[in-house]
Structures are given as structure tokens and as C-alpha cells.
Amino acid sequence: MQKGIIGKKLGMTQLFDEKGKVVPVTIIEAGPCVVVQKKTVESDGYEAVQLGYGDISAKKVSKPAKGHFDKADVAPKRTLREFRLDDISAVTVGDIVKADTFAAGDHIDVAGFSKGKGYAGTIKRWNGHRLRESHGTGPVARHAGSNGSCSTPSRVFKGKKLPGHLGAERVTVQNLTVVKIDTENNLIAIKGAVPGAKGSIVTLSDSVKA
């Protein structure tokens, strides 16, 4: 990974390319982020930088967190994320990372937490089929189906798709394209959809595929 940044999802809109085609884009308010900590092989066993995003009152952070920010001599930040970069020799604590760290045409991975859907059945959660509501079906048209045999094997096999909590989990969408950068307002337009609701925190990093 060469670069990364923390941002906030603002929503979706559309832009027009040079050929006049509509491009659906997600707008991310990327940064400004500050380097809060620099991890090295000597002290931590690996190389990484910790970025902070979003101001927060000093009264709202714990004493250990306040000491962490005081050590870096930066204002308290609401969100902290760590990025393992290939080379951190040029990075120093206190540096500001802005949206111009990326450029139009870059391929990136965007990670965030998906929208929570609550407790969902097997059809919504696993895209299962429902039964035909004909004679003899009974009130089980949207149920999970057979749950296991009787005496053999006398258990439910691992991996059986059952109802449960859907969404609200970390999701990474890979190999998205940066369409436009607005350096003045720290905005990045990314082609396609990214996980999370409006206002949720996402992280942008170099694509591991491209």
C-alpha cells in the first residue's frame, strides 16, 4: 500500500465524462487527516502510520487517549485508523493528509461498515427461494426448510443458512475508480457505490488488485 486516507460518505450523485455518458459516483469527504502515530519495525515489529480524522472536544476523550494525542502534539480526533504503507520514511507525526493524495484515474479499495438490516430471514439474508403457496404448503412459505435429519446425523450441519443478524459488518469494495478530485473542498468522487450509510466513516487505500 502506497497511500490511504479516512473519509466520510456524503452520498451519491452523477457526473458526465468526456463522451457525455453518465457516471454514477459516490462523494467522499476525504480528510484532512493528521498523522497521529508512526509505527516502526524497531518499536512495534511492523511499519504503519495512524491517521486521525474529525475534530472532537478534549473533554470527550479519555485520559489515555488525551495522552496519546498530547504525545503527538495534535488536537484530539474522533476517528483513528491505521495504514500499513510500503515506505513511511518520508512521513512524520503531525503531517496533514488531504484528498490530493489520490488523483483521478487511481484504482482504490474502500472499506466501511454496511447498513444494519436487523434480524432477517433466510430469503433476505441468503437470497433463498420461497415455497409455492399451493395446497398443502402450510404457513412456511418463507421458512428455512429442512434443518437436519432425524437419527442420522442427529445434528444440523455446519454452514446451514439460517435467519440471523444482517448487515452492520465491515465490507470492502475493491478496485473502484477515482473519477474526480476537488482539492479545495477535500472531496473525492468514486465511480460506483461504497458500503455504509450517509455520514458513515470509510477508509480509502490503494487497490490490492490493480
pLDDT digits (tens, 9 = 90+) for 79-133: 999 999 888 888 888 889 999 899 999 999 999 999 999 999 999 999 999 998 8
Q: Can you give the pLDDT at residue 1?
A: 67
Q: Can you give the pLDDT at residue 50?
A: 94
Q: Can you give the pLDDT at residue 186?
A: 93
Q: Which residues of the chain, if any, have pLDDT below 70?
A: 1
Q: pLDDT over 90 for what percent of the chain?
A: 69
What global pTM score does this model have?
0.85
Cell numbers describing residue 188? 473525492
> What is the Cα–Cα distance from 106 to 129, expressed in whole angstroms?
40
Q: Can you give the pLDDT at residue 89?
A: 84
> What is the Cα–Cα distance from 199 to 113, expressed in whole angstroms?
11
**Half-sphere exposure in the Cβ direction for 193 (13 Å, CA):** 8
- Which is it for strands 77-83 and 48-55: parallel, antiparallel or unpaired? antiparallel
